[in-house]
A and B are shown apart, each in its own frame.
Chain A
Amino acid sequence: IVMTQSPATLSVSPGEGATLSCRASQNLSSHLAWYQQKPGQAPSLLIYGASTRAPGVPARFCGSGSGTDFTLTISSLQSGDSAIYYCQQYNNWPPITFGQGTRLDIK
């Protein structure tokens, strides 16, 4: 299953919102996760089941979608949200596959 994320890069001002997209080449039902990777750090799980926030993830992060089209919406952006965001499918594996990532810059 090929995962395609868009846009590749997104630049947003603090306080604004951002919408990140992830499209799968096959139906995933809701078996999709989102990760955040800050510079120099390991990824961290944000969302699983397409829309369920992982423990400790702020409500500003909202996942939606099912089937082949998914969205990660982040509201009230802060400088600390600057990161690369990856989607990951686990509907039909192996292999588990990731999208190529969306770089989010807050400036």
Chain B
Amino acid sequence: EVQLVESGGDLVQPGGSLRVSCVGSGFTFSNYAMTWVRQAPGKGLEWVSTISGSGDEPFYADSVQGRFTIARDNSQNTLFLQMNSLRAEDTALYFCARVPLDTDNSGWTFDLWGQGTLVTVSS
């Protein structure tokens, strides 16, 4: 089955750190760029970060630049998001999502999503 499964969400104090993970299965993980999108409780979708299939091209939203680091281990079919200096406004459900293989046709869209992992930043 083609799927993405996130894990690692937790309750963290402001200023703390957390790493969330996403395991892909049923497809050749290393061929695909991957993305993190978050959704604060009751709010809309916010793009966080995207990384190329090889892992050498990361992109970040201004709101997380310098605090979050996206990475991947293609040998383990796993995507990571290391989150440092966490703030209350980082509280959200974090989704990982796959970028289609053919971005020239399908564009930088997200054709496969996980169910999300909840990160809560609170004292």
A43 touches B110 (CB 8 A): yes
Q: Across the two chains, which residue of chain A brings its CB closest to B112?
A: A45
Q: How many residues of B contact A (CB 8 A)?
A: 24
B45 touches A45 (CB 8 A): no
Q: Which of B44, B61, B106, B109 contacts A100 (CB 8 A)?
A: B44
Q: Would you call A61 an interface residue if the criterion is a C-beta within 8 Å of the partner chain's C-beta atoms? A: no
Q: Would you call A76 an interface residue if the criterion is a C-beta within 8 Å of the partner chain's C-beta atoms? A: no
Question: Which chain B residues lie closer than 8 Å to A49 at the CB level?
Answer: 105-107
Q: Which residues of A51-77 have CB atoms within 8 Å of chain B's CB atoms? A: 54
B109 touches A45 (CB 8 A): yes
A86 touches B44 (CB 8 A): yes
CA distance A88 to B108 in the complex (A): 10
Q: Would you call A94 an interface residue if the criterion is a C-beta within 8 Å of the partner chain's C-beta atoms? A: yes
Q: List 7 A-B contacts (CB under 8 A).
A: A42-B95, A42-B113, A43-B37, A45-B109, A86-B45, A94-B60, A95-B61
Write the residues of chain A forming the contact surface with B, with a CB cutoff of 8 angstroms.
Answer: 31, 33, 35, 37, 41-45, 48-49, 54, 84, 86, 88, 90, 93-101
